[in-house]
A and B are shown apart, each in its own frame.
Chain A
Amino acid sequence: DIQMTQSPSSLSASVGDRVTITCRASQNINTYLNWYQQKPGKAPNLLIYAASYLQSGVPSRFSGSGSGTDFTLTISSLQPEDFAAYYCQQSYSTPPYTFGQGTKLEI
């Protein structure tokens, strides 16, 4: 299985900050990488697919980059509703789909 490792596991930030979350794959996954946001008590919500493509309806302050084994999710200017957990997921080699362990973004 392909292992996905996110860093940091948790992050404290303030409204208006620029934030970057990193995801590393245990092997080359090209750009077969998706990002999800999960708020407490809610299901995950797709933000970005194929490493850099913004899902319809997602604010443009979210962006993704990377290829191969190293990827980043960037929030350009944090808003109050962005405080949540973020997960990366690979869809290069399935089954199984595998997720990162998550990054909790806190105030």
Chain B
Amino acid sequence: QVQLQELGPGLVKPSGTLSLTCAVSGGSISSDSWWTWVRQSPGKGLEWIGELHHIGSPNNNPSLKSRVTISLDKPKNQFSLKLSSVTAADTAVYYCARVVAGRAAARIIYYFDSWGQGTLVTVSS
């Protein structure tokens, strides 16, 4: 069973860049899956940030505009998130997850089947 673990600093200064890595074990990052980031502000709901497949271009949440960069590191079997120009509003628990394509009747549906435990990132000076 695939396992994911988020790594990175828990404190980032305003206007800086948030950088997180998700280490994947028990499965290959080059498999036919998408790799994604989701965040959850304190006491709030879930917000999808973006995703990347080992073949193809990334998809990002338009609400975050061009601040998001997601990349894969195949030799290390991990993927990363960079979020630039952060403000206090970016303070959240950040989760990495795997997106898989499941089959339901004649349809293909995507869902998030494996998650990291999450890491709290605080934006503060």
State in angstroms the CA–CA spacing of A101 and B41 once bound together.
12
Write the residues of chain A forming the contact surface with B, with a CB cutoff of 8 angstroms: 1, 30-32, 34, 36, 42-46, 49-50, 53, 55, 87, 89, 91, 94-102
Query: Which single residue of chain B is at the shortest CB-CB distance from A35?
Result: B111
* Main SS class of interface, B: strand
- B47 partner residues in chain A, CB cutoff 8 A: 99
Which parts of B12-63 form the interface with A (CB within 8 Å)?
Answer: 45-48, 50-51, 59-63
Contact of A95 among B48, B113, B118 (CB under 8 A): B48
Query: Which single residue of chain B is at the shortest CB-CB distance from A51?
Result: B104
Contact of B116 among A31, A43, A87 (CB under 8 A): A43
A55 and B113 form a contact (CB under 8 A): yes
Beyond A44-B95, A95-B60, 5 additional pairs, beta carbon < 8 A: A43-B117, A46-B112, A95-B48, A95-B61, A96-B48
- B97 partner residues in chain A, CB cutoff 8 A: 43
